[in-house]
Amino acid sequence: MNDTQADKNEFQIGDLVLLIDRKDRRYMITLVEGEKYNCHLGQLFHDKIIGNNIGGWFRTDKGHILLGIKPTLGDFVRQMPRGPQIVYPKDLGNIISFADIFPGATVIEGGLGSGALTSALLRAVGHTGKVINYEIDEAVLPKALRNIERINSDTSNLEVKISDIYQGISERNVDRVVLDVPEPWQALSGIGDALVMGGIVLSFVPTIIQVQKLVLAMEEDGRFQMIESIETLLRTWHVTERSVRPDHRMIAHSGFLTTAVRCDPKPYGRVPFSREEDGKNLDFRNNELEE
């Protein structure tokens, strides 16, 4: 095994480590040479972890053993310091999928929060893409940016603007817009101006009343088609030899996702076919025609 392969299998200085005890309690640390981790299970020196296998077992000075792994983005989101309410890991995956976030995309994000969604977007767009965040509250930046930098080694493709996305978006021809704001319908005018034709807007909100206001506003705007709303639900299970049942404690409901595609406004009434142009052009008329 060469040095590069060994590095991938071993903890290094600066790595995040998720320590898990026998009761599945989780503790996240950043490895620093010479430091030690203290908890009710005893002390564990970081030097005992550095250079040893990811997925290995580590013993505290009180004899308790802890499993050490590298945290996933979902693990990090659950453990990270929080300010505003976070977007849960199950929602992060759905947002990336339903908004069709792809490598190289330019994404406008409304709301920074604690940085969980921004971190997921940065991973999805990759080094060739860009995330531009509109955040109205400058006070959330220090904690959110620290969280983002801990899970993303390179944040050079992130731009944070202290600006109200409800007042408009200055960028044009962006690929995607992702919103985690309380009144997303107020941002629709700017979104319609900013999105490339065929681009997708996705909104995450906690209540169905917000969904209704957003969908009605999209329909009134006229530039958004293929409007769809879903509820994100997740039920975890407890599985042992003698018992298989849903977990007693779970975060089943966390919110609603609404997506829409930026299109030309729908013509009013039917679109007559112009035979004179041999099918090359469609005659868009504003006459009131019965369906």
Q: What's the CATH code, domain 75-262?
A: 3.40.50.150
For residues 121-145, b (16+ Cβ closer than 10 Å) or e, as one string? bbbbbeeebbbbbbbbeeebbebbb
User: How far is the C-alpha of 188 from the C-alpha of 262, rounded, in Å?
Assistant: 11
CATH number of 3-71: 3.10.330.20
The domains of the chain are located at 3-71, 75-262
Name the pTM for this structure.
0.76
How many Cβ atoms are within 10 Å of 181's Cβ, its own excluded? Answer: 22
Structure confidence by residue, pLDDT tens digits, 85-143: 678 788 999 999 999 999 999 999 999 988 999 999 999 999 999 999 999 999 999 99
Listed in sequence order, the DSSP H helices in the chain are 3-9, 73-79, 89-98, 116-125, 141-151, 188-194, 208-221
pLDDT by residue (tens digit) across 196-248? Answer: 999 999 999 999 999 999 999 999 999 999 999 999 888 889 899 999 999 88
Tell me how far apart the alpha carbons of residues 90 and 77 are, in angstroms, rounded to a whole number. Answer: 11
Q: Per residue in 13-61, pLDDT tens?
A: 988 899 999 888 888 889 999 999 998 888 999 999 999 999 999 999 9
d(CA 215, CA 140): 29
What is d(CA 48, CA 33) in angstroms, rounded to the nearest whole number?
A: 10
Q: What percent of the chain has pLDDT over 70?
A: 88
